[in-house]
Structure 1
């Protein structure tokens, strides 16, 4: 009997009509509860059709022996975190993770399984040999990030050789990888329009922001080596009348290096659910990304999120922001702090209604629902072809 894998178009065929939902095991370098972004958007939608098991990197805590710490998330998603005693040797961590992962997967029987990788590092633990379909969702060029393991590139070669389908987090990354795999597709950052459009209706100003004067320029996201700290410092100095509201956890860089000024406000990380209230009370958005190897291929999810909230935004010249947002006149591009000042001047004079109409026309072409459905169709093509091949061989 048939088991429906893609609720829109594609069907796989399984052995029994009483089979559980197919299994999707995700190996991620990002923790589920860190920042709500691409993995959470996609896998939350996948959970409508799949058993989703999300496996994080190990932690080192006060335990007597290795264990897999399990917790649940909405839609039945299972998050597994391998936990090891402090001081566990590297070799024991690797072998221990392999055993814990195999045990966890065995607890979720299914007639069809997908192994989904966000990083090539977990490929050293599980090479996908037991999966029916292997997916590499290459959302970032992780090898260019600060502190990237040296073996990452070699493992990526192996993962690309095994993967049945590859997705990229943006068009520039697709262009860089398109000749390295025969079934690769660009799926740039998308948008949950309903969530961020709530900002357009007007929401109460959060307490830790309410005392900050207007006009406000806001940023939200992870604060790390991808942010041009000096750009922020100079932009704030050039426009002391603007107040820069900076939301997000600080990782991999020393917080002491962040610029200090009366008009720069580092508020810290906020949950995904809290973001619309902050954006609703900003006058402009700000994406001060450094132009370096770590940002060469990024496709910031926050770009369409700013636009859905109707916040005019200024960004540095990130390729996947320039194309299409800058070229369409939806986002101001400013390579230098001086250009940032001129961009703010243009936004101050910009007719908001005509800009917002163009924004909405663009956003009508994308959503995380559309992205997941398109990805699932590509997975379905692989699965259907494999099922047909198995049937003919039998």
Structure 2
């Protein structure tokens, strides 16, 4: 029986891949996928970031329309990593609040998406929604079923119009035939009879295959505690600063985009901030530092999250130290859990000795060997086949 095609409402394609992108890349091996770039989780503000983002989307939309008129073809869609995936960048009203704005946004989306659906000749497409703001297109794209993939607790996620998203999510949960969540904590929010938890997988080959050391990683013989990801308010910067002061002979390397003031971090001599790296470059850091860190502030978002980097860290074979949150506690015995700078300093010293054990890296690998993205995608495939 032929697998049903997918219409996916997700984040913007590219950059550091989300769990949705990892899964869809595999599911697209034997089905066609139309990927709709982010339609937003909040209304734009007069910030430089939002203006640049809106300008980019508008420029792409105008370019597509010019190409369409010049070639007299359907709206343009760009290829992605897979020949079976098409990506479009629609113009719409992000996270509309009023009834009229929702009506306009819905029809803008349908008008841009439907011609591409027809051109691709999608087979009984399943509508896969990772952003609740797409709920209004349900029933208008000839879909055979609706999947809600919930990778975050939107009620606690920073930079989101919480009131609007909560209402759209409630509607989506009611209309969805299947709900998939990235953590057990998220699964508890939804009706059990149609909810399944698909925990994050890992690209085992990418993170466990030895690679050369990154040239900008400190290399003076001192041990390194490393982190990659968003430098945001949920990162416990006070914990890192205090520990760095306690451990002057260690380097603390943070890789990622800054969303907060990092002046206090920059002021510490043995803390190094590096810019974001491409996903495929990350093993050249995580395989060569001494210990991987997950130093999060415990809040609602972190309690519900299942960070992709946790299994990636384990696959890289280095000791992992984390603050206590649901996902990290699930790996007790493989991840050292700490509460304060003194416990973190002690854990760093233990980790330095741990990794000298010949079977240590293989032990970590075996803990997550069954969690490849291929394995997780096969679970999703079975669930899709049942709806």
TM-score class, shorter:
0.7 to 0.9
Report how far residue 349 of structure 1 moved.
2.9
Q: Which runs of 4+ in 1 moved over 6 A?
A: none
Q: Which residue of 2 aligns with 1:279?
A: 286
Give the total of aligned pairs: 352
Report how far residue 210 of structure 1 moved.
4.8
Confirm or deny that 1:305 pairs with 2:309: no
The answer to whether the 8 Å contact 1:166/1:181 transfers is: no
Q: 2:239, 2:141 → 1: CA distance?
A: 47
Q: 1:244, 1:188 → 2: CA distance?
A: 29
The answer to whether the 8 Å contact 1:134/1:164 transfers is: yes
Q: Which residue of 1 aligns with 2:184?
A: 171
Q: Which residue of 2 aligns with 1:25?
A: 7
Q: Return closer, same or farther for 1:172/1:352 CA change in 2, 3 Å cut-off.
A: farther
Q: 1:255, 1:104 → 2: CA distance?
A: 44
More strand as a share of residues: 1
Q: 2:245, 2:76 → 1: CA distance?
A: 47
Q: 1:212, 1:37 → 2: CA distance?
A: 34
Residues 283-319 of structure 1 show CA distances to partners (whole Å, capped at 9, x for unaligned) of 1101111111221100111111111111111011111
Equivalent residue runs for 1:1-394 within 5 Å? 3-5=1-3, 22-28=4-10, 30-58=11-39, 59-61=53-55, 63=59, 70-76=77-83, 77-83=85-91, 93=105, 95-126=107-138, 130-149=142-161, 150-174=163-187, 176-178=188-190, 180-198=191-209, 201=210, 203-211=211-219, 214-251=222-259, 253-256=260-263, 258-323=265-330, 325-326=331-332, 329-350=333-354, 352-382=357-387
Deviates more, 1:151-160 or 1:347-356: 347-356
Unaligned runs of 5+ in 1: 6-21, 383-394
TM-score (norm 1): 0.82
Report how far residue 258 of structure 1 moved.
4.7
Q: 1:159, 1:230 → 2: CA distance?
A: 38
Q: Return closer, same or farther for 1:371/1:82 CA change in 2, 3 Å cut-off.
A: same
Unaligned runs of 5+ in 2: 40-52, 66-74
User: Aligned with 1:79: secondary structure?
Assistant: strand
TM-score (norm 2): 0.83
User: Aligned with 1:142: secondary structure?
Assistant: coil
User: Aligned with 1:222: secondary structure?
Assistant: coil
Report how far residue 27 of structure 1 moved.
0.5
